Amino acid sequence: GQNIDQPTEMTATEGAIVQINCTYQTSGFNGLFWYQQHAGEAPTFLSYNVLDGLEEKGRFSSFLSRSKGYSYLLLKELQMKDSASYLCAVLDSNYQLIWGAGTKLIIKP
Amino acid sequence: GAVVSQHPSWVICKSGTSVKIECRSLDFQATTMFWYRQFPKQSLMLMATSNEGSKATYEQGVEKDKFLINHASLTLSTLTVTSAHPEDSSFYICSAAELAGGADTQYFGPGTRLTVL
C-alpha cells in the first residue's frame, strides 16, 4: 500500500532550527510537496522536490532522497508565526497526491 | 488513519459539458468538507466549504452556479463543474474534517485531474 509517515507533533523554541522528516512508500514518484497550514486556512505551498538534493528558499529548505524514500523540511530562525501544521504529500505514478497526516509544529518563546 | 477518496481520479471532457467529482470519507464521518483547486506548484486555493445538510459557503471569486456543491451525507460531498471550459482545467482536491472531542483535523483526498478540451 501507499504510505506517508511524518511525526504528529513537534515543539521548538523561537529562533532555533527544526527539521520535520517525511518518509514515503508509494507506487511511483513524480515529486514531493511540502505545505504549511495554519488552523482554519488553506494549505500554503512551500516547496516541490523531484530531484535528489537540497532546495533552499529563505528560512525554509527542503531535502529529498528518492533512493531512501525520505524528505525533510528545515525551518531556520523560527518565528512564532511558524506555528502551524506542515503537510508532506507525494505525487505518485498516476499523478495522484498521497498525503501525510501532517506535523503540528508548536513554537515556544 | 482516516482515508478520503475521490472519484474519478482524472477526467477529460469536452468544453460545455458538466463533470461531477465525488469526495468520500471512508472510515469516519465528516461534518465539513472542503474543495480546493490547485495549479502546478501553487498553493491550494480554497473554493468552498460544505457542511452536511446545508448550503456550501463559497470563497470570494468562486462562481457558485458554476461549481455546484452537494454535501448530502456525512461521508459524501460532490462538486459539479457545470459547462466546463478549458480554463477550468485543474487539479481539484477535497478534504474532510472530522470533529472529535472538539478538535478538527483535515484529511486530504488524492485529487481529481480535470482536463477540458
> Average of pLDDT values for A69-97?
93
* Contact residues on chain B for A62, CB-CB shorter than 8 A: none
* Contact residues on chain A for B91, CB-CB shorter than 8 A: 97
First vs last C-alpha separation in chain B: 37
Question: Cell 524528505, residue?
Answer: A71
Between CA B74 and CA A54 the distance in angstroms is: 42
Question: Dihedral sign, CA of B34, B37, B38, B43?
Answer: negative
Model pLDDT for residues A43-75, shown as the tens digit of each residue: 888 999 999 999 998 999 999 999 999 999 999
pLDDT tens string, chain B, 117 residues long: the values are 678 999 999 999 999 999 999 999 998 888 889 999 987 777 788 899 988 878 899 999 999 999 999 988 889 999 999 999 999 999 999 999 876 544 457 888 999 999 999
What residues of chain B have any CB closer than 8 angstroms to a CB in chain A? 1, 9-10, 34, 36, 41-46, 91, 93, 105-111, 113
The CA–CA distances, whole Å, from B20 to A7, A28, B13, B67, B70 equal 35, 27, 11, 10, 10
Average pLDDT for chain B: 88
Between CA B1 and CA A6 the distance in angstroms is: 12
DSSP A34-95: EEEE-TTS--EEEEEE-SSEEEEETTEEEEEETTTTEEEEEE-S--GGG-EEEEEEEE-TTS
Chain B CB within 8 Å of residue A44 CB:
yes
What pLDDT score does B1 carry? 63
How far is CA A73 from its chain centroid?
5
* Contact residues on chain B for A49, CB-CB shorter than 8 A: none
